Amino acid sequence: MTNLPNPLRIAIIGSGPSGFYTAEYLLKQAAKSGLTIEIDLIERLPTPFGLVRGGVAPDHQKIKSVTKAFDRIAADPRLRFFGHVDVGHDISHQELLDHYHQVVYAVGAQSDRHMNIPGEDLPGSYPATEFVGWYNAHPDFRDLTFGLSATAAAVIGNGNVAMDVARILAKTPDELAKTDIADYALVALAHSQVTDIYVIGRRGPLQAAFTTPELKELGELDCTEVIVRPGEVALDAESAADLAASADKVTRDNMAVLEAMSQRPAQGKPRRLHLLFLRSPVRLLGKDRVEAIELAHNRLTRSSDGSLRPHATGETEILPVGLVFRSIGYKGAPLPDTPFDEAHGVIPNEGGHVESGGELLPGEYAVGWIKRGPSGVIGTNRPDAVETATHMIQDALAGDTLQPAHPSRAEFEALLASRNVEVVDYAGWQTLDRLEREAGAAVGRPRIKFSRVEDMLAALHSEAEKLPS
Ligand code: NAP
């Protein structure tokens, strides 16, 4: 035990749920294991929380209350938040290895999957991930514009992100004003001409990835009615057999809600949200921008792994839409000088320990979506983080860590200072949080978010000037 690094210096790259949960478990277990640790939680933006701030829908405020638990983790004196530090730009991968005994990548899945069909990149066709970042005031996406003058929009995919995108398109300005949606998005959506939203699944209702509360919400909108034609929820024989044999509550509840929706009389609301199943996009049509989408009708056949997969029947249809949101899943992006599995969009790892060419790399770990792919809810990251952090503690106790030349926090801070990096610490974030809430309270909203990094830094300077010198 005497030869253990003291303190054991750990960098967690990314401050979303998986980063925070990893920190939480390390802080708890280190003391029990006789390890003195220091965690630097390094984040590209001045603001923490990853997809809890930039991904969770603005009308799902309750889900965002998980940040209270993150605040408690951040209050531990062994953890320090380094916001506004961009790994790969401000500091290199090698510099991380030179300053820490252990490095954990908790960077999430920063890209999106492609449909690989003709017309996919026509103006008017967007990855849902960009729209989500835009309405959530993420600085990377705040300057995008979306063709909201179209009257019909298609949302491709049957996951919860597709549900979020469809619902945000369907809500009225009054409904959206109760949320912390970006102020510019509130204005743009208030001028939206979209009256018909088509959510398109390539498989049937039984195979949809969305969950029941998100589905139910579609039926509770002020000015949009959900339209599910009875034929859409009629199950093929294989799906019916799966349903009869299934103990999965989500599947059964989804089917019950969809069947009830299909029986609902028309309400005559000014907007409509149509749920279409068993249709795959095969091309986007349009001269200068999207004018329509061609859909191939599918039937399901049993594949060797037991799942039901879509196959084209040969029948197609053309749906006139001026907007397409591709919501078919996030995808991890490579980090500089770090192993990457292109096919799966993850850092190759064994239980969170990064591997390259069949060898485990000493001191390097992954957690969350960059470790396992973009699946699960926020809480799924907790057991995932426990797995990675358990390996980290075991490896540290076995002396299997990096051997950094500069293992002190002071040296890391000096490196950042030499690059003129303006670090935002947790107190800085808490100031931004207070300013956002105060701005929101003044107009009856939960918060008004900063969406530009320069504005965040300027606000922090101006608050610092108010302090007594
Ligand atoms: P997802 O749940 O993996 O759903 C992706 C959807 O895209 C599936 O319906 C999939 O169909 C479809 N798809 C994939 N490739 C396609 C293609 N080439 N053509 C047509 N459809 C295609 O992904 P997500 O919606 O991005 O969500 C990511 C994760 O975040 C999920 O775990 C989700 O539950 C979670 N999330 C949760 C919430 C919440 O709790 N409220 C909100 C947002 C996100 P197949 O099934 O046929 O592959």
Mutate to test the pocket of ligand 1, among 167, 212, 328, 381 (most ligand atoms within 8 A of CB): 328
What's the 160 CA to ligand 1 centre distance in angstroms?
Answer: 6
Q: Please state the separation of Cα 145 from the chain's center in Å.
A: 20
Identify the H or E element spanning 320: strand 308-320
Pick from 398, 302, 389, 378: which is nearest to 353 by CA?
Answer: 389
Beta-carbon contacts of 27 under 8 Å, excluding residues fewer than 6 positions away, are: 37, 39, 73, 76, 78, 79
Tell me the mean pLDDT in the region 451-467: 95
**What is the rounded radius of gyration, in angstroms, for the C-alpha atoms of the chain?**
24
DSSP string, 236-292: PHHHHHHHHH---HHHHHHHHHHHHHHHPPP---SEEEEEE-SEEEEEEE-SSS--E
What's the 29 CA to ligand 1 centre distance in angstroms?
Answer: 34
Instruction: Let me know if 358 is exposed, middle or buried by CB neighbors in 10 A (0-12, 13-18, 19+).
Output: exposed
For 414-458, write each residue's pLDDT tens digit.
999 999 999 999 999 999 999 999 999 999 999 999 999 999 999
Closest C-alpha residue for ligand 1 atom 7: 328
> How confident is the model at residue 343, as a pLDDT?
93
Decide: 153 and 197 in contact? Cβ < 8 Å: yes
Ligand 1 atom closest to the Cα of residue 330 is 26
What's the 162 CA to ligand 1 centre distance in angstroms?
Answer: 7
Tell me the mean pLDDT in the region 51-59: 97
Mutate to test the pocket of ligand 1, among 60, 111, 160 (most ligand atoms within 8 A of CB): 160
For 121-146, write each residue's pLDDT tens digit.
999 999 999 999 999 999 999 999 99
Domains and CATH numbers, the chain: 8-110+332-424 (3.40.50.720), 111-330 (3.50.50.60)
C-alpha–C-alpha distance, residues 358 and 273, integer Å: 49
Q: What's the mean pLDDT when you consider all of the chain? A: 96
Closest C-alpha residue for ligand 1 atom 26: 329
Q: Please state the separation of Cα 84 from the chain's center in Å.
A: 19
Which residues have C-beta atoms less than 6 Å from ligand 1?
A: 115, 156-162, 164, 201-203, 207, 209, 214, 280, 327-330, 374-377
For 361-371, write each residue's pLDDT tens digit.
999 999 999 99
What's the 226 CA to ligand 1 centre distance in angstroms?
Answer: 20
Ligand 1 atom closest to the Cα of residue 207 is 46
Angle at 176 between CA 183 and CA 182, to 5 degrees: 20
> Residue 455: helix, strand or coil by DSSP?
helix
Cis peptide before 7 (omega within 30 of 0): yes
Closest C-alpha residue for ligand 1 atom 33: 160
> How confident is the model at residue 3, as a pLDDT?
72
C-alpha–C-alpha distance, residues 359 and 370, integer Å: 19
Pick from 102, 106, 3: which is nearest to 393 by CA?
Answer: 102
Mutate to test the pocket of ligand 1, among 126, 129, 158 (most ligand atoms within 8 A of CB): 158
What's the 375 CA to ligand 1 centre distance in angstroms?
Answer: 8
What's the 300 CA to ligand 1 centre distance in angstroms?
Answer: 18
Q: Is pLDDT at 5 greater than 90 in this prediction?
A: no
What are the beta bridge partners of residue 296? 280, 316
Q: Is pLDDT at 95 greater than 70 in this prediction?
A: yes
Q: Is pLDDT at 324 greater than 60 in this prediction?
A: yes
For 222-237, write each residue's pLDDT tens digit.
999 999 999 999 999 9
How many other CB atoms are there within 10 angstroms of residue 421's CB atom?
Answer: 17
Q: Is pLDDT at 1 greater than 80 in this prediction?
A: no
C-alpha–C-alpha distance, residues 18 and 107, integer Å: 9
Tell me the mean pLDDT in the region 216-224: 97
350, 354, 358, 361 alpha-carbon torsion, rounded to 10°:
-130
Ligand 1 atom closest to the Cα of residue 376 is 32
| In the chain, % of residues over pLDDT 90 | 97
Provide the pLDDT confidence category of residue 4 given band limits of 50, 70 and 90: confident
Q: Is pLDDT at 2 greater than 80 in this prediction?
A: no
Closest C-alpha residue for ligand 1 atom 3: 329
What's the 130 CA to ligand 1 centre distance in angstroms?
Answer: 15
Ligand 1 atom closest to the Cα of residue 115 is 18
C-alpha–C-alpha distance, residues 116 and 113, integer Å: 9
> How confident is the model at residue 468, as a pLDDT?
80
Closest C-alpha residue for ligand 1 atom 41: 160
What's the 205 CA to ligand 1 centre distance in angstroms?
Answer: 13
How many other CB atoms are there within 10 angstroms of residue 72's CB atom?
Answer: 11
What's the 369 CA to ligand 1 centre distance in angstroms?
Answer: 13
What's the 158 CA to ligand 1 centre distance in angstroms?
Answer: 6
Closest C-alpha residue for ligand 1 atom 16: 328
What's the 430 CA to ligand 1 centre distance in angstroms?
Answer: 33
